[in-house]
Structure 1
Amino acid sequence: MKGVLLVNLGSPESPTAKDVKPYLDEFLMDERVIDVNKVLRNIIVRGIILQTRPKKSAEAYAKIWWEEGSPLVVISERFTNKVRQQTNLPVALGMRYGKMTIKNALQELKDKGVDDVLLVPLYPHYAMSSFETVVVKAMEVKDEFFSNIKITTLPPFYKNPEYIKVLSESIAEGLKNFDYDHILFSYHGIPERHIRKSDPTKFHCKIDGNCCSTNSVAHHTCYRHQCYEMTERIKAFLQLPEDKVSLSFQSRLPNDPWLKPYTDFEFERFPKEGKKKLAVITPAFVSDCLETLEEIAMEGKHQFQEAGGEDYIHIPCLNDNDAWVQVMADWIKDWDASEKLPA
């Protein structure tokens, strides 16, 4: 019997330092997030970051926390429930980090008689710290606890025409009544070394301004290329002016080169160039979360206006948008009927 496992990032149980600390510990101790040897990672995470970060992060979570709970979890649950209504297969929701574990979600499917699972990492792009770690974790859990279950993984959908269409239409709706000077596509940042580590050729990804536009098998696992490709496809779909669109990368750790340009630097630069009305899109996420609701919608707006900006909007993620739900349901139905996965 077939079933579907949707997996998103996860969340602490509450916006308190007490609950944020174990969540951050699990997240940052993932070798695909901070990819140094375990001894050094332990020193960095438990000896340095976790001494101060939980309190600061808890304050940020408190700003965006909903009455029902974590926005990311609540939105993911709403999306899952809607997908269930559009398919005939059991659909479970798990999180890579936190108490809503992948193991519990697979057990839920197994209890319903499922032995053939479509794994759906809810990330449009491939990155070792997002898509890859979900797949690796799911396979580890399967091998240890559910050896009789077969898992097929939905590939990254950053350029899938149906996804580009629903995302573009959602963006268009958000821009409808906003007279923008500029549109910024802000993607989550990753260390530059992650790009090189994910390059199967071990030579193509030079991050030199040309490699992302030069065809290569490396693009299948190149987060940077996929961000640029998605941006170009949305620009083309919406016929956005070339000179009014750019992309950047948000969220980074210090003392390490991450993908550039940095979003916070762009917020300071735009007003100086006369770009006083800014719309920001966060297409690395399918669900609004701390990085979109607090970092971009709140802190980003403050930083932009402090630098001289005037009007600012953050366009929400797709969340539980009905058209996005239908796209996911169609992918599931195609897989159920013929094992076909979206391109």
Structure 2
Amino acid sequence: MKGVLIVNLGSPESPTAKDVKPYLDEFLMDKYVIDFPYLLRALLVRGIILRKRPVESAHAYSKIWWEEGSPLVVLSERMRKKVQPLANVPVSLAMRYGSMTIEKGLQELSDKGVADVLLFPLYPQYAMASTLTILAKAEEIRKKKFLHMKFTDFPAFYSRPDYIKNLADSIQKHLAGFEYDHLLFSYHGIPERHIRKADVTKSHCKIYGSCCSTASPAHDFCYRHQCYETTRQAVKLLGLPADKYSLTFQSRLAGDKWLEPYTDVEIDSMPAKGIKRLAVVTPAFVSDCLETLEEIAMRAKEDFQANGGEEFLAIPCLNDGDEWCETVAGWINDWAK
């Protein structure tokens, strides 16, 4: 029997430092997120970052927390509930980090008699810190607990026409009535070394220059290329001129070279360039979360206006939109045939 495990990032149990700390420990100690040798990673995470970050992150989470719980978890579950009646096979939900574990999700499917599983990371673009860590963790668990299962990995959907249409339609809907000067596509950042590590050719990716627009097998696993391609196809559907939009990367950690240009730096400089009415969309996420609701919709808005900006629109993620859920169910049913 076939079934699907949809997997998203995860969330702490509550917006308190007590619950945020173990969540951050699990997340940041992941070798695919901070890809340093274990001892160096432990020194950095447990010796430095976790001394202050849990309190700071808990404060940020408290600003966006819903009565039902973490927005990311709530929205992911709402999506699953909409997808399930449209899908021809069982659909379960898990998180890479936190209490809604991949093991629990696989057990739920196993209890329903599922042995053929479609692993569906909820990330449009491939990255080792998102897609790969989900697939690797699931395989690790399969070998320990679910040897009877067979996995199929759903590939990054960054350029699938129906996803691009969902994204463009959502942007267009939320821009209706908003006379914007500029549309910013803000993607989650990753260290530049992750791009090079994911390069299957070991020579194509140069980070800057023409490599992302030059055909290569490396593009199947190149996060930067996939971000630019998602943007290119979306703005083509929207009919936007080149001077009406741009692309940036957010959420970097200090002390390392991450993909540029940086979202916060670009947003802060826009009012001085005559951009007074800004709209921001975050296509690296399909579910609104801390990075979209607090970092962009709150902090970026405050900084933009503090630097002379006037109007700021944070465009929601696809979340549990009907068209998006129908698209996901269609992909599932095509696989399950």
Decide: shared fold, TM above 0.5.
yes
How many Å apart are 1:89 and its aligned residue?
Answer: 1.1
Equivalent residues in 2 for 1:157-168, closer than 5 Å: 157-168=157-168
What SS does the aligned partner of 1:119 have? strand
Aligned to 1:87: 87
Contact 2:166 2:324 in 1 (8 A): yes
Alpha-carbon separation, structure 2, partners of 1:214 and 1:113: 45
What SS does the aligned partner of 1:294 have? helix
Equivalent residues in 2 for 1:125-140, closer than 5 Å: 125-140=125-140
The one-character-per-residue Cα deviations of 1:11-68 (angstroms, maximum 9, x if unpaired) are: 0000000000000000000000000000000000000000000000000000000000
Aligned to 2:52: 52
Alpha-carbon separation, structure 2, partners of 1:256 and 1:330: 40
Aligned to 1:325: 325
What SS does the aligned partner of 2:270 have? helix
Aligned to 1:311: 311
How many Å apart are 1:201 and its aligned residue?
Answer: 1.0
The one-character-per-residue Cα deviations of 1:227-279 (angstroms, maximum 9, x if unpaired) are: 00000000001101210100000001111000000000011111110011000
The one-character-per-residue Cα deviations of 1:105-124 (angstroms, maximum 9, x if unpaired) are: 00000000000011100000
What SS does the aligned partner of 1:93 have? strand
Alpha-carbon separation, structure 1, partners of 2:211 and 2:114: 42
Please, what is the CA RMSD of the aligned residues?
A: 0.5
Alpha-carbon separation, structure 2, partners of 1:200 and 1:70: 36
Do residues 273 (structure 1) and 286 (structure 2) align?
Answer: no
Alpha-carbon separation, structure 1, partners of 2:194 and 2:156: 17
Aligned to 1:188: 188
Structure 1 stretches of 4+ with a deviation exceeding 4 A read none
Aligned to 2:209: 209
Do residues 150 (structure 1) and 150 (structure 2) align?
Answer: yes
The one-character-per-residue Cα deviations of 1:90-109 (angstroms, maximum 9, x if unpaired) are: 11100000000000000000
The one-character-per-residue Cα deviations of 1:268-313 (angstroms, maximum 9, x if unpaired) are: 1111100110000000000000000000000000010011101100
Alpha-carbon separation, structure 2, partners of 1:255 and 1:335: 43
Identity %: 64
| TM-score under structure 2 length normalisation | 0.99
Aligned to 2:261: 261
Alpha-carbon separation, structure 2, partners of 1:56 and 1:173: 34
Contact 2:88 2:336 in 1 (8 A): no
What SS does the aligned partner of 2:88 have? coil
- Counterpart residue type for residue 326 of structure 2: Q
Aligned to 1:340: none
How many Å apart are 1:208 and its aligned residue?
Answer: 2.2
Aligned to 1:289: 289
Do residues 237 (structure 1) and 237 (structure 2) align?
Answer: yes
How many Å apart are 1:88 and its aligned residue?
Answer: 2.6
Specify every segment of 5 or more residues in structure 1 that has no aligned partner in the other structure, as ranges. Answer: 338-343
Alpha-carbon separation, structure 2, partners of 1:296 and 1:41: 28
| TM-score under structure 1 length normalisation | 0.98
How many Å apart are 1:143 and its aligned residue?
Answer: 0.9
Bigger Cα displacement from structure 2, 207-216 vs 65-74: 207-216
What SS does the aligned partner of 2:7 have? strand
Alpha-carbon separation, structure 1, partners of 2:295 and 2:194: 23
